[in-house]
Amino acid sequence: MFSFGSIEVKELGLPPKYKSIVQWKNKNNSCWLDTLLTIIVFSVNIRAAINRNMQELALFNRLSTLYDQCQKRHSDTSTADTNVVVEHDIYNQLDFARSYVLNQLRQKLPSLSPGDHESCFEMFSNILKLGPLSKLFSVTLRWEFECDECQYKKARRVTTEITSFPSTTPDFHPLNASFHRSCFTCSAQNQLMTMVMERIPPCLMLHFEQGLPHNRFKVLDFGIQGHLYSVTAAVQYINKPFNHFIVWIRDCKANKWLCCDDLNPVSSWQSRPPKIPPGEIHMVLW
């Protein structure tokens, strides 16, 4: 009998690069969880953190180890005659691992019911706390506001794992990241609130309530404080004909993308960047 807790904790290699990748299969509206777990198992920086701290991050170590084993088995079977029994077992094991993580989450969030369509944005910090992975995503930034009309100025320092933009300006970039809001004192419309990052973590996650102005991810790569930040994952939030999350994973070295959609759980790397409708770009990880 398969037991997630008995998976041996060991050093992880790089995320899988097999031509064909098998994903978690949607079960009871699990796309929010499948998306978040996929981001974790494909993050090079998270894997490095897991290797530095194997015992404390044992949950995510086991999750990544199991994921890698499933990819190897999938790759071995897809080169031979497709083995239905093996593929069935792979989905079962991925499902066991997902249930294990969901149970851990429910111990912290008793109101969480299996089958609820949760928000990737809202559940993101909760998933990190299971690790604990929060430190890896913890950014310190200033929100700076200035009103053109009354010259009112305001700055607020925040430390958070995910920064949310209610909207974006047409020239949005992580180093030029603003949104419009009304003035706090004179109520003038369309004044700028700007994010200025002070301490940037290895993994930077931003959330966009109304999407981004464009889908050209390459121009969102940036350098700061001597480090290069490349887009490594983008969560797509589709709301028609039903609410659904998909995540696109980018292999920066090979510059390839993988669409991870739990309604279509076998996919292949592609050289073409994803053409996500900009309004559906929900979260971006650098």
Applying CB under 5 A, the residues found at the interface with Zn ion are 147, 149-150, 152, 183, 186, 188
User: Among residues 193 and 284, whose Cβ is nearest to Zn ion?
Assistant: 193
| Least Å from the CB of residue 145 to Zn ion | 9
Q: Indicate the residue among 102 and 192 with the shorter CB distance to Zn ion.
A: 192
- Nearest distance from C-beta of residue 14 to Zn ion, angstroms: 50
CB atoms within 10 A of CB 113: 10
List of residues 6+ apart from 216 with CB closer than 8 A = 273
Smallest gap from Cβ 11 to Zn ion, in A, equals: 55
Name the strands in the sheet holding 205-208, side by side, starting at the edge strand that comes first in the sequence: 163-165, 205-208, 281-285, 233-238, 244-251, 256-260
Give CA–CA dist 57/41, Å, rounded: 13
One-letter amino acid at 208 equals F
Of residues 158 and 186, the one with the C-beta less far from Zn ion: 186
What is the spatial distance between Cα 158 and Cα 168, in angstroms, rounded to a whole number? 19
Question: How many helices, marked H, and strands, marked E, lie in the chain?
Answer: 6, 14
Nearest CB to Zn ion, comparing residues 59 and 147: 147
| β pairing state of 256-260 and 266-268 | unpaired
Minimum distance, C-beta of residue 182 to Zn ion, in the bound complex (Å)? 8
Task: Report in angstroms how near the CB of residue 147 gets to Zn ion at its nearest.
Answer: 3
Nearer to Zn ion, 149 or 198 (CB): 149
